[in-house]
Amino acid sequence: MITLNLLDPKRKNNYLFRRILLTIQKGIEVIFFFVLLIGITFSISQYYLEKNLQEVAQQNTFINQNIGEFNQEISRINLQLRKIQEIQDQYLAWTPALLEITKTIPENVKLKSLKINKEAKLVDLQGLAKKRDDLLQLKNNLKNIHFVEKVESPLSNLLKKENIDFQFAIFLNLDRLTYD
């Protein structure tokens, strides 16, 4: 096929120039269309993101309010637990200790009083012994108890041979009392 161009060179250049301009115009239109499409996409995305941000902020506020209530409840429970722990730390199991002390009392010895002073780690024992030998046996028995550090008694305990009003100061090791 033969192409025949009957246009003069000036018109030919003008036509070529128009064609280039039309191509550029179409390219700009395509670019404008894509920019417009991207802008619309970004606008829609921004709308949804802002909407989600508001929902998240509302949920965060709700959660913070609930967490605040839970934190208050947890603080209250922790305070109660600390108080309970303080009480438990101060508790001593006196029953086994008293049973152990009473087991060591000979048959001819009667107790009048038994006073416990936890701060001084002292048990004050007063009573009546029929004979001096019973009193000495009681003192030795008390010394042999594992949680007793020492037993003190006044000399007046040993002055009589019979019907002796006695008093003992029994010093305790509370660590052994607690863990044994």
The closest alpha carbon to 143, from 134, 151, 135, belongs to: 151
- What is the CB neighbour count within 10 angstroms for residue 147? 19
119 in the same domain as 58: no
In this prediction, residue 61 carries a pLDDT of 85
- Mean pLDDT calculated for residue range 32-45: 95
The tally of domains found in the chain comes to 2
- Mean pLDDT calculated for residue range 5-20: 86
Three-state DSSP at 178 gives: helix
- Mean pLDDT calculated for residue range 27-46: 95
134 in the same domain as 112: yes
Question: Cβ distance 176 to 147 under 8 Å?
Answer: yes
Residues 68 and 77: their CA atoms lie apart, in Å, by 14
Mean pLDDT for the chain? 87
Buried b (16+ CB within 10 A) or exposed e, 62-95: eeeeeeeeeeeeeeeeeeeeeeeeeeeeeeeeee
174 in the same domain as 99: yes
47 in the same domain as 111: no
In this prediction, residue 172 carries a pLDDT of 86
86 in the same domain as 12: yes
Q: How confident is the model at residue 180 (pLDDT cuts 50, 70, 90)?
A: very low
The closest alpha carbon to 127, from 177, 165, 168, belongs to: 165
pTM comes to: 0.53
Residues 11 and 103: their CA atoms lie apart, in Å, by 134
Q: Is residue 3 part of a domain?
A: no
Residues 141 and 127: their CA atoms lie apart, in Å, by 15
Q: Is the pLDDT of residue 63 over 60?
A: yes
170 in the same domain as 105: yes
In this prediction, residue 178 carries a pLDDT of 60
129 in the same domain as 142: yes
User: Please, how many CA atoms are within 13 Å of residue 14, restricted to the half-sphere of its CB?
Assistant: 5
Q: Is the pLDDT of residue 59 over 50?
A: yes
- Mean pLDDT calculated for residue range 130-139: 90
Residues 45 and 48: their CA atoms lie apart, in Å, by 5
**Full residue range of the structural domain in which residue 137 is found:** 94-179
Q: Look at 22 and 3; give whichever has higher pLDDT.
A: 22
Q: Is residue 2 part of a domain?
A: no
- What is the CB neighbour count within 10 angstroms for residue 11? 11
In this prediction, residue 20 carries a pLDDT of 95
- Mean pLDDT calculated for residue range 156-169: 87
Q: Is residue 154 part of a domain?
A: yes
In this prediction, residue 2 carries a pLDDT of 77
Residue finishing a domain among 74, 91, 108: 91
Residue finishing a domain among 44, 70, 91: 91
